[in-house]
Amino acid sequence: MKDFLIAPSILSADFARLGEEVDKVLAAGADVVHFDVMDNHYVPNLTFGAPVCQALRDYGITAPIDVHLMVKPVDRIIPDFAKAGASMVTFHAEASEHIDRTLQLIKEHDMKAGLVFNPATPLHHLDYVMDKLDMILLMSVNPGFGGQSFIPTTLDKLRAVRERIDASGRDIRLEIDGGVKANNIADVAEAGADMFVAGSAIFGQPDYKAAIDEMRAELAK
Ligand code: DX5
Ligand code: ZN
């Protein structure tokens, strides 16, 4: 089977018991912790920042933490996340004044770097930065909230990005975020994604292992 990563979004976890929730979802078979940072400015919602990432590390979480920055400006908090133990950082093309500089800043702090595209953001931002990317994240909902429905046109966009990654010959993860569930994950993988964020589809279920197992079974078909 291909090397697929499942990244539960803790946006849908019980914040009052965050450490336990993350432990539980990792024990259930998750590969990566997806960490949604929202600033009530770039997106109309407010979540958590680097101190919460640090708290998860202090609690003993050793799995990779995938920080999805939905903040503007971006650069100022990148060093904070490096210090707090983040493994990879993605940011939105529209939120950075200087995309190339932001990518370099992430890499200078020894984290993996990725660019995020909203559903209506064109792909031309990729044109001159493929050599600096470790990951590309396509949003399949408009950012800001968990529990929204997958926007179907994202499948064509995934195919277009998959072609660009393959043509580049580089090892770049293609991450999908928003409305991913067991009933669409196979289509999303077929279109080229290899890293799957799921919030409500995992934390909204009573049995996290059953939810993740069902996704992996769909991916294995
Ligand atoms: C939305 C966030 C997502 C969100 C996904 O802005 O980036 O990571 O939590 O939640 P679901 O899987 O419920 O759509
Ligand atoms: Zn996210």
Q: Is 147 in the pocket of ligand 1 (CB under 6 A)?
A: yes
Over residues 181-190, the pLDDT tens digits come to: 999 999 999 9
Q: Look at residue 50 in the predicted model and tell me its pLDDT.
A: 98
Residue 206 binned pLDDT confidence (cut-offs 50, 70, 90): very high
**Mean pLDDT in the chain?**
98
Mean pLDDT of 205-219: 98
- Is residue 110 annotated as part of the catalytic site, yes or no? no
Any idea where the domains of the chain sit in the sequence?
5-220
Q: Is 200 in the pocket of ligand 1 (CB under 6 A)?
A: yes
Q: Look at residue 2 in the predicted model and tell me its pLDDT.
A: 73
Q: Judging by beta carbons within 10 Å of its beta carbon (0-12, 13-18, 19+), is residue 67 exposed, middle or buried?
A: buried
Over residues 8-37, the pLDDT tens digits come to: 999 999 999 999 999 999 999 999 999 999
pTM of the complete model beyond 0.90: yes
Binding residues are: 9, 34, 36, 68, 144-147, 177-179, 199-200
Residue 1 binned pLDDT confidence (cut-offs 50, 70, 90): low
Q: Look at residue 108 in the predicted model and tell me its pLDDT.
A: 98
One of 3.40.50.150, 3.20.20.70, 3.30.70.360, 3.30.450.20 is the CATH number of 5-220, namely: 3.20.20.70
Contacts 24+ apart (CB under 8 A), 161-169: 161/123, 161/126, 161/136, 161/192, 162/191, 162/192, 162/193, 163/192, 164/123, 164/126, 164/130, 165/136, 165/192, 168/130
Mean pLDDT of 103-127: 98
Q: Look at residue 155 in the predicted model and tell me its pLDDT.
A: 98
**179 token code pair:** 């409305």
Distance CA 217, CA 119 (A): 27
Peptide bond into 73 cis (omega under 30): yes
